[in-house]
Amino acid sequence: MKPWLKLKDSPKWKEQTEGSSQSSGSKRSRNPDGASQQSDGRTHIDINDDPMDLETDQPLPRPVGRNKAKKAASTSSNSSVMDMFGDKFDRYVQLQETKAEVMTRMEQKMIEAQTSFQEAQETLQTKTDMEILKMKADDLEGEDLKLFLVMKESVRARRRRRG
């Protein structure tokens, strides 16, 4: 019995010991004499083998479990999806940054254009005001003279406010 204890965990006998503990199958798969239709599992055994050699054999590795296999499959598929969309997302971010830079430059140019336009308007207003102040009212009468004097006073008030 001692040799069997040493041999029962070896890979050579593992399949046979596991198979014997299971049921022999359904009633229909049995022969009329009660024997199963499965193979008899004959194996060549050399009784001269040293049982110590069998103990050094490594046990069979366990297969990967169902949950771990599913997790590994989903992780690999997720990473491939991320790889596929990662490049597109990086390109999108780059385009958004470029868009922001262009918008900033456009805003600066608009501010410069508005400032330039305002300066041109102020220059034109100053020229017009100076011409009004230089004019003489010698040949004006009545309502035209009153309107001219009001305009001249309005220009002077505006010039005082500007400094």
Q: Is residue 86 part of a domain?
A: no
- The amino acid present at 157, given as its one-letter code, is A
Q: What percent of the chain has pLDDT over 90?
A: 33
* Confidence (pLDDT) at 111: 96
**Per-residue tokens: 147:** 């309107």
Q: Is residue 149 part of a domain?
A: yes
Instruction: Identify the bridge partners of residue 135 per DSSP, sorted by sequence position.
Output: none
Average pLDDT over residues 81-92: 79
Q: Is residue 95 part of a domain?
A: no
Compute how many other C-beta atoms are within 10 angstroms of the C-beta atom of residue 107: 10
* Confidence (pLDDT) at 71: 82
Most confident of 79-93, 99-113, 148-162: 99-113
Q: Is residue 111 part of a domain?
A: no
**Total number of domains constituting the chain:** 1
> In angstroms, rounded to a whole number, what is the distance separating the alpha carbons of residues 71 and 77?
10
Q: Is residue 119 part of a domain?
A: no
Q: Is residue 91 part of a domain?
A: no
How do residues 2-44 score in pLDDT, each as one tens digit?
A: 777 777 777 777 666 555 555 555 555 555 555 545 555 666 6
Task: Identify whether the C-beta of residue 145 lies closer than 8 Å to the C-beta of residue 137.
Answer: yes
Does the pLDDT value for residue 123 go beyond 90? yes
Residue 147 sits in which domain range? 129-162
Which position has the higher pLDDT, 70 or 57?
Answer: 70
Model pTM score: 0.39
Q: Is residue 144 part of a domain?
A: yes
